[in-house]
A and B are shown apart, each in its own frame.
Chain A
Amino acid sequence: MGAFAKIIATAMVSIFVQNAIFERALGANVVIYASRKNNHVVGFTIGMTAMTTVASVITYFLDGLLLPLELGYLFMPLVYITIISILYVLALLFLWRLFPDIFARIKKHAHLAIVNCTVLGALFLNSVHGNDIWSYIGYGFGTGIGFFLACFMLNIAHEKLDSDKIPRAFRGYPIMLIYIGIVSMGFYVLVGYTVNF
C-alpha cells in the first residue's frame, strides 16, 4: 500500500507541480504537433507514458551504477538513448507481430512520441529527484499523464487559437507558445515557486 501511495503521490507531483511541458518546456514542440489531432493526443500519450514508465524502471538500476562514478553523468545520455532505442525496437516488433494494423498506422509517427525531449528529460529528472524505484515509476508515469494534460489543453484551444480573431502574425505557432506561457503562469501561481533545473 505504501508503494502504491508513493507512486500516486510522485505521479501527482510530476503532473501538476513539475509538469514537463508547462514547467520545463520539455517536448513543447512535440505537444504542439500532437495536439492538432485527437488520435495523435491518445497515441502519443499511450506511447510516451509506456516508454517513460518502463524506461524509468530500467534506469533506476542503471543510475545506481552510473551516478556514483565521477564522470558517470557524461555517459547518461548515451545509456538512456540506448535503453529507449531498445525498448522502441521491442515495442515495434511486438506490434508488427501481433497487431500489424496498428503498426502500419503508427510507424510514421512512433519515433516522434518515443525519441523526444519529454521521455529523455523524464529519465534525467528521475536521476536527480528519484530516490527509490516507486518514485521512479511514479515520476515516469506522471510525466506521460502530464504530457496528456498539456496536449488536451492545447487540443481544446486549437479552434479558437487558429480563428480569424487572432492577428495573422500570431496564428499557429506563436499564439500556441503564448497560450502555453499563460497556462504555465497559472501552474507557477498554483505551485507558488519556480523549479530549479
Chain B
Amino acid sequence: MSEKKTKINFDGFFRQNIVLMSGLVTAPIIVAATTAERALVLSLCFFMVSYISIMICRLIPRKIMYSMRILIYAVVAGAVYIPTALLLSMLFPETVSGVLIYIEISVVNLLLLAKTESRFYLESFGVMAVDALIYIAGYAGAAFAVGIIRELLAYGTFFGLYLFDEPMPAAKSPFFGFILVGILAAVCRVIVGRRGAGK
C-alpha cells in the first residue's frame, strides 16, 4: 500500500484556488454570485455538500473501478444535498430560490469528482480533512470577492446595506461574471508569479 501524505499544504486556498486558478468550479460564481448573501449561500451549500461527501466517500473501497467510484461520489453528494437544501431553505428562503439550480448542480462539482482521486485520498485522513477545508475556504473567498464586487457595482449595496446608487447594473449579468472572474484569475496569476520570483 502506498504511503499517505501527512504534511498539510495550504496551496488549496490561493495557489490552487478551484475558482480562480484551476477553474474546477466556476458556474455558481460566474452566474449566481451577484451579491454577498448569495455568495454566503453558495459557500455554505458547497461546504456542506462537498465536505460531508468527501468524508463519506473516503470509505468507498478503491478496488471499485474509477468510473464507478465517480458515480458513487455523485450519488452520495445527491443524498447529502437533501438535508443541505432543507436547512438552507429554512435559513435563506428567498436567496435559495433565486440560486436553486446552482445549488443543485453542486452535487457534480469537480472538487468532489476530481480532487478526491488526484489529491485528497492520497493523504492521511487528518490531512485530508484540513486540506479539503482549505480548498472550500478558497472557493468561499472567491465567491465573496466576486459577490461583493458585483453587489457594489450592480446594486450599490453591501450585504443589502445601501451605500450609493447602482453605478453598473449590468454587473449582475452572466457575461460580467465571466469577465470579472477572468480578470481576478489574471490578478491571482500575477500575485503568484511575483511571489515565485521573490522566492
Contacts and interface: CB of A to CB of B under 8 A. Distances in A.
B122 interface: no
Contact of B104 (A88, A115, A124, A175): A124
B110 interface: yes
Could you tell me the dominant secondary structure of chain B's interface residues?
helix
Nearest to B177: A25
A167 B23 CA distance: 19
Given A24-B174, A26-B27, A170-B186, A77 B81 contact: yes
Interface in A108-134: 110-111, 115-117, 120-121, 124-125, 128
Nearest to A75: B82
Contact of A27 (B27, B86, B177, B190): B27
A9 interface: no
B116 interface: no
Contacts of A181: 175-179, 182
Contacts of B108: 81, 115-117, 120
Given A74-B85, A197-B31, A32 B23 contact: yes
B148 interface: no
B121 interface: no
Interface of B: 21-27, 30-32, 67-68, 70-71, 74-75, 77-79, 81-82, 85-86, 98-102, 104-105, 107-108, 110, 113, 173-179, 181-183, 185-187, 189-190, 193
Interface of A: 22-29, 32, 71, 73-82, 84-85, 88-89, 92, 107, 110-111, 115-117, 120-121, 124-125, 128, 167-170, 173-178, 180-182, 184-185, 188, 194, 197
